[in-house]
């Protein structure tokens, strides 16, 4: 338990599922409303976890989600581009934002927390300004979309991202580099790890994932507005931290935990007045578990796949 913090998260997930099933009936696990939300958080939390394992951070994911949403909506709903082109453009915006994060972090040598805070403001500000300049408004409705199911499938994308990330982290040289970077960047560089390339790839993947969620939400909800994604980053960071900041499995369990709490609080009819309190209690618990596990695993190797 203390060596694998994700096991503590897993136990938390099971306990919550039991609790909410008892309160709301078997439908809570059998026909889960929370699975789509868990998948969307998971798609971003998985690459974000790799980034965190490599010792970096990304605060701009929410703003990138908003930028990709508006790119899709403006390209498809306003300029009537075909959906695949709009989606590709939005994903390109995501990759570009991620590369910008990576290049700025590498060049400036500043903590990525600060760099991505700046890029969050830049991206969100540019989204608002450009949206109003181009369309005159900050909310754009999509044209009707029938052939959109292929892209809008979070429950498929999540396992794909998680499987690929788990494989890369535990079975490839790139995965070793990621872990080495998180251990000691200078030592990793001296050992021949291409630190710049690894970080660029991780930043780009995280932003690409955020952009993908933005595209999916824009298709599913037939439009976008510039405030999209402001609250999303919070859930992703929570998922990564609660999951132990060490493994893909932990991030996935953290994503389920966040979505289950979010859904359960409403389905149990407690009223959303209690939702923020539940988030706070959850974070406090995870911090406690993390402290306990660090104390217990002082002699265990830092990263487990």
Partner 1 sequence: MRTPVTLLLITALAASACTPRHQAPPDPSAGITVAVIAGPLSDPFFGAVKSGAERAAADLRVRVDYLAPAASGELGAELVRLTRSAVANKVSAIALGDYYPDQQDPEIRRAVDAGVTVVLVNSGEPSWQKVGATAYVGQDEQRVGELAGQRMAEAGVRRAVCVNHVPGSPVMAQRCAGLRTALSHVTEITLASAEATNPTATQQAISGALSADPLVDGVFTLGSGFAELAMRAVDSVKRADKVRVATTDLSTGVLESVRDGKLLFAVDQQPYLQGYYGVQVAVQQISHGLRPTTPVRTGPLVVDRANAASVLAHNRDGGIRGAR
The token pair at 251 is 């991030």
The token pair at 167 is 């494989």
Q: Select the residue interacting with partner 1 from 21, 135, 176, 297 (CB under 8 A).
A: 135
The 3 state secondary structure assigned to 194-238 is CHHHHHHHHHHHHHHHHHHHHHHHHHHCCEEECCCCCCHHHHHHH
CA distance 290 to 286: 6
160: enclosing H helix or E strand: helix 154-171
Q: Select the residue interacting with partner 1 from 222, 285, 290, 304 (CB under 8 A).
A: 222
Closer by beta carbon to partner 1, 40 or else 56: 40
Which of 96, 40, 48, 49 shows the shortest CA–CA distance to 228? 40
* Per-residue binding letters, 3-42, with partner 1 (x by CB under 8 A): ---------------------x--x-----xx-xx--x--
Closer by beta carbon to partner 1, 140 or else 200: 140
Please count the residues of this chain forming the interface with partner 1, following the rule CB under 8 A.
46
CA 123 vs. chain centroid, Å, equals 17
Which residues on adjacent β-strands are paired with residue 140? 224
Q: Is 77 in the site for partner 1 (CB under 8 A)?
A: yes
Q: Is 285 in the site for partner 1 (CB under 8 A)?
A: no
* Per-residue binding letters, 139-168, with partner 1 (x by CB under 8 A): xxx---------------------------
In the complex, the residues that contact partner 1 under the rule CB under 8 A are: 24, 27, 33-34, 36-37, 40, 77-78, 128, 132, 135-141, 217, 220-223, 225-232, 234-235, 262-269, 271-273, 275-276
């Amino acid at each position: 338990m203390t060596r694998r913090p994700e096991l503590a998260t897993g136990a938390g997930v099971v306990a919550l599922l039991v609790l909410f099933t008892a309160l709301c009936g078997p439908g809570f696990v059998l026909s889960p409303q929370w699975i789509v939300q868990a998948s969307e958080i998971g798609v971003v939390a998985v690459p974000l976890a790799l980034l965190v394992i490599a010792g970096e951070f990304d605060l701009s994911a929410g703003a990138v989600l908003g930028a990709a949403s508006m790119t899709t909506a403006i390209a498809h709903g306003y300029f009537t581009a075909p959906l695949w082109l709009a989606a590709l453009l939005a994903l390109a915006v995501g990759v570009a934002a991620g590369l910008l994060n990576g290049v700025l972090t590498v060049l400036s040598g500043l903590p990525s927390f600060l760099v991505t805070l700046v890029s969050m403001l830049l991206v969100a500000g540019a989204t608002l300004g450009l949206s109003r300049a181009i369309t005159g408004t900050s909310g754009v409705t999509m044209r009707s979309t029938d052939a959109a199911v292929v892209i809008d499938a979070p429950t498929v994308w999540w396992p794909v991202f998680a499987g690929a990330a788990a494989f890369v982290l535990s079975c490839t040289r790139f995965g070793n580099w990621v872990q080495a970077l998180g251990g000691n960047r200078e030592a990793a560089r001296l050992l021949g790890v291409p630190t710049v390339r690894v970080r660029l790839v991780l930043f780009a993947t995280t932003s690409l994932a955020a952009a993908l969620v933005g595209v999916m939400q824009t298709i599913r909800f037939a439009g976008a507005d510039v405030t999209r994604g402001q609250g999303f980053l919070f859930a992703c960071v929570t998922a990564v931290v609660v999951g132990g900041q060490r493994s893909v499995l932990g991030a996935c369990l953290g994503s389920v935990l966040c979505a289950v709490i979010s859904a359960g609080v409403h389905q149990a009819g407690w009223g959303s007045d209690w939702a923020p309190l539940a988030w706070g209690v959850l974070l406090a618990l995870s911090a406690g578990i993390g402290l306990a596990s660090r104390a217990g695993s002082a002699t265990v190797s830092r990263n487990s796949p």
